[in-house]
Amino acid sequence: MSTLNLTVNGRKHTLDVDPTTPLLYVLSDDLELRGPKFGCGLSQCGACTVIVKGQAIRSCVTPVSTVAGSEITTLDGLGTPEKPHPIQRAFIEEQAMQCGFCLNGVIMTAKAFVDRNPKASEVQIQQAMSGVLCRCFTHVRMLRAIKRYAQGMTA
């Protein structure tokens, strides 16, 4: 076990954990956050995505020690039900969710990508989102929501 300092959603935490523990387990088990989900455990579905240093990363395969000292943002830290983050608001307005299981991966991946590429084309957005699996078939609405968020950034 090691003492690690994490900053998650703007809050500092000191945890005594095995440094090889996947970040996802620390977020869900130790910090009781519910945004990132365990999907495949192999970095293939995106359900566990968080943002570190502006990059979307898969927390299921990221040892917690590799992100100690970095700002980690989860879906739980974006907005609140009363005041959703602009990307969350775009998803609500476009009714771009169904079961919600993949939503963490979709929103966090889209946010990281669009924040770095606010003028991305639809093809570029589709390519950036291609690694996030969704079985609900709301892709068209999700793409509209992502484009709505990007337009709000460039307005």
Distances (CA, A) of 95 to 17, 24, 59, 141: 39, 27, 27, 7
| Spans of all domains in the chain | 2-77, 86-154
* Mean pLDDT score of the chain: 95
Question: Among the residues of the chain, which ranges form H helices?
Answer: 23-25, 86-93, 103-116, 122-129, 139-154
How far apart are the C-alpha atoms of 75 and 23, rounded to whole Å? 14
- Measured distance CA(84)–CA(142) in Å, rounded: 16
Q: Which residue has the tokens 């809050």?
A: 11
The per-residue pLDDT for 23 is: 98
The residue written with tokens 């395969």 in the block is: 61
pLDDT 10s digits, 56-70: 999 999 999 999 999
Instruction: Give the C-alpha distances (Å, rounded to integers) separating 36 from 1, 55, 119.
Output: 23, 15, 27
CATH number of 2-77: 3.10.20.30
Whether 20 contacts 80, CB under 8 Å: no
State the pLDDT confidence band at 39, using cuts at 50, 70 and 90. very high
- Answer whether 2-77 and 86-154 agree in fold: no
The answer, yes or no, to whether residue 77 has pLDDT greater than 90, is yes
Q: 86-154 is classed in which CATH architecture?
A: Orthogonal Bundle (1.10)
Top-confidence residue, 97 or 25: 25
Measured CA to CA, the distance from residue 115 to residue 107 in angstroms comes to 12
pLDDT value for 98: 82
pLDDT of residue 125: 96
